[in-house]
């Protein structure tokens, strides 16, 4: 009775569900809309564009969308390196390597080149980090075990408690790799011509 009375008298913050978070955090647009942390200026637009392509290729990223007129260059998502791949440099720090070693994680680079008021240009690298989620397979009979690792799964696996469709596998955003963004900026500075491209 004494223990029960003490527990009943304690007050604290209300309990929250593990999924009680802002759904926008899982969207790529949310993270890409956040301002960049590093900017590399240069007076030569062509040099910025070509150097950004070389830097992306150096880290094994393949180009996806290129808009020369708007100054936007985006790579295809690349599955991030794990701890047994020391030759790869597509992850910014040790925490990112650990994260991608414990689960399937991918990264996408977005270079944004903008014209400044003084007539020069500036490129801002942004790196989106996404995690892969796979729904579990339900086994209700001895014949279902063969489909546990099948890739021929239906587009809709089941429905959640609210009746919404649950996809069998999908990618969701978990943040930005700021360490990799800083390293990409350093590589951009090193690859740009010294004339007109010094901070």
Residue 168 DSSP symbol:
S
155 pLDDT more than 50: no
Instruction: Name the token pair of 74.
Output: 């985006």
84 pLDDT more than 60: yes
Residue 86 DSSP symbol:
T
Q: How far is CA 5 from the centre of its chain?
A: 48
CA 97 to CA 175: how far, in whole Å? Answer: 15
**Cα first-last separation, the chain:** 70
Q: Which pLDDT tens digit goes with each residue over 51-64?
A: 999 999 998 999 99
Phi, psi of 82 (to 5 degrees): -110, 175
β-strand pairing of 169-176 with 105-115: unpaired
8 pLDDT more than 70: no
Tell me the H-state helices in the chain. 2-9, 28-33, 45-58, 94-102, 178-191
Higher pLDDT, 173 or 5: 173
In this prediction, residue 112 has a pLDDT band, given cuts at 50, 70 and 90, of: very high
β-strand pairing of 40-42 with 169-176: unpaired
CATH code of the domain made up of 24-135+168-191: 3.30.310.80
187 pLDDT more than 70: yes
Instruction: Name the token pair of 139.
Output: 């086994």
Q: Which pLDDT tens digit goes with each residue over 20-30?
A: 666 777 788 88
CA 24 to CA 57: how far, in whole Å? Answer: 30
């Amino acid at each position: 009775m004494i223990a029960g009375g003490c527990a009943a008298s304690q007050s604290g913050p209300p309990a929250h569900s593990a999924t009680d978070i802002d759904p926008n955090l899982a969207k790529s647009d949310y993270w890409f809309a956040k301002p960049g942390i590093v900017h590399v200026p240069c007076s030569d637009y062509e040099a910025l564009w070509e150097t950004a392509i070389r830097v992306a290729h150096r880290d094994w990223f393949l180009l996806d969308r290129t808009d020369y007129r708007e100054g936007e260059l985006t790579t295809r998502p690349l599955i991030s390196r794990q701890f047994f791949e020391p030759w790869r440099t597509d992850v910014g720090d040790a925490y990112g390597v650990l994260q991608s070693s414990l689960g399937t994680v991918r990264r996408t680079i977005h270079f944004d080149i903008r014209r400044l008021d003084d007539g020069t240009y500036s490129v801002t690298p942004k790196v989106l980090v996404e995690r892969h989620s796979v729904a579990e397979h339900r086994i209700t009979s001895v014949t279902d075990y063969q489909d546990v690792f099948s890739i021929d799964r239906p587009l809709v696996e089941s429905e959640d408690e609210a009746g919404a469709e649950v996809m069998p596998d999908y990618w969701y955003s978990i943040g930005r790799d700021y360490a990799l963004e800083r390293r990409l900026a350093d590589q951009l500075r090193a690859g740009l011509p010294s004339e007109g491209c010094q901070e």
